[in-house]
Amino acid sequence: MTTVPAPEAASIVIPVEPRQPTRRRYLMCPPTYFTVEYSINPWMDPDRPVDTDLAVRQWTALKETYERLGHTVELIDPEPGLPDMVFAANSGTVIDGRVLGARFRAPQRTPEAELFRRWFLARGYRDVVMPGSINEAEGDFAWTGRVLLAGTGFRTDPGAHAEAQEVLGVPVISLRLVDPRYYHLDTALFVLTEAGPADSAQIAYYPDAFSLGSQRVLRRLFPDAVIATEADAACLGLNGVSDGLDVVLPWEATDLATQLKERGYLPVHVDISELRKSGGGPKCCTLEIRPASPEFTAVVAFQRTVRSSG
């Protein structure tokens, strides 16, 4: 009797759905006056030398990376005496063409908010609202396509979350940060793919930056999230920018890059080592301008017509 060996079990390969990038519009500010002359987060040490020219070169490489990927980059002029103005993400949240400005906790950064408000008004934005609560904009707000994830704990007040919901007209999910190294939401979490009509959003985050309750919320909302390691978080690897395919992140975030490749994303590495001396990375330098959709524009036009005729 001849025994026929059983065939080896075939390895199961789960196909990755091809990802598609979406072209984005960003607002950035050159780090012409960048330095570290005060400390408002654990990354900042005024006694540590800063090379402003190197910061400019790194920022320029980041801007050119966005442009090479097909994105539009607009600029706001830097202002002497405002070394952190390069971190444009902290100065506004724009969804469907509506702008919710910023109100900074640190007095050193307070003047930045007015400069960004003027920039939007000068370019024809009609719905520009300045917050009443401390609100550090996309530093603590992350739009998923369906809900706005909102951080608190160190900078943005919880009251700013309700204000954002009223001004922007989107549902808001509050998340509490507990590790001072990750003082803004955008240092511990970013959106990889926004939700579509039939697809859920996907995010990457570092669980230990959040309270236990917020960790449970994130697991419930995003069961397929990419979970970053401590090393990824420690180099501000989660301060990344994704267009749904290409993910711009610090070159040191190697474990995160490997996970992203396995999920079908294309990591694009940049060097932000000098800007990191102030606690910033790619996302900190990048305010996303999300224009109004045609449907939203039609609704707003109708509402204005009704008000003017009433």
Positions marked catalytic: 184, 284
Reading the block at residue 154, the tokens are 């160190």
Helix (H, G, I), strand (E, B) or coil at 220: helix
Reading the block at residue 300, the tokens are 């707003």
CA 41 to chain centroid: 18
Q: What angle do CA 205, 211, 217 make, to 5 degrees?
A: 65
User: Torsion-angle region of residue 206: left (phi > 0), alpha (psi -120 to 50) or beta?
Assistant: beta
Candidates 232, 52, 25; CA nearest to 60 is 52
Helix or strand (DSSP H, E) at 218: helix 212-221
Candidates 277, 278, 260; CA nearest to 269 is 260
Specify the DSSP class assigned to residue 21: -
> Judging by DSSP bridges, how do beta strands 72-75 and 25-28 pair with one another?
parallel
Q: Is 18 exposed, middle or buried (0-12, 13-18, 19+ CB in 10 A)?
A: exposed
